[in-house]
Amino acid sequence: MIPIEYFLALSGILFVIGALGVLTKKNAIVVLMSVEVMLNAANINFVAFSAFYGSLNGAIFALVSIAIAAAEVAVGLAIIMNLYKTRDTISLNKINLLRW
């Protein structure tokens, strides 16, 4: 039987990989993918606790979270497409529209 620490460790490692991607990458699509990795790390936690402690609420919440992530990535990709059309770049260094 797999102890729950393995799932939590996998989730933590995935979260750190995603956070590193968000912090260091310049390509907007790669940053969006890293955000997805972080969201899925949280989903692994939900499903692990749900499967270990016999409550289905965590699994349902993970499903809702996946749906919200799909909505987010749809809007994010549309924004990136629009940026590429209007500014000819998706490099986050060159996009300063919302920067203070």
Partner 1 sequence: MNKRGRGGKFAAGVAAVLFIGVVMGSMLMTQWPAGELADTDNFQLGVTMFNTYGIAVLMVSFVLFVALIGGVFIAQEEEEK
Smallest gap from Cβ 87 to partner 1, in A, equals 14
67 binds partner 1 (CB under 8 A): yes
Please enumerate, as own/partner, the contacts of 46-50 that have beta carbons within 8 Å and a separation of 24 or more. Answer: 48/4, 48/7, 48/8, 48/11, 49/4
89 binds partner 1 (CB under 8 A): no
Please work out the total of residues on this chain that contact partner 1, with binding judged by CB under 8 A: 39
Q: Which residues of 76-89 are buried (b: 16+ CB within 10 A; e: fewer)?
A: beeebeebeeeeee
Out of 10, 12, 28, 33, the only residue in the binding site for partner 1 (CB under 8 A) is 12
d(CA 69, CA 66): 5
29 binds partner 1 (CB under 8 A): no
27 binds partner 1 (CB under 8 A): no
Out of 27, 79, 87, 89, the only residue in the binding site for partner 1 (CB under 8 A) is 79
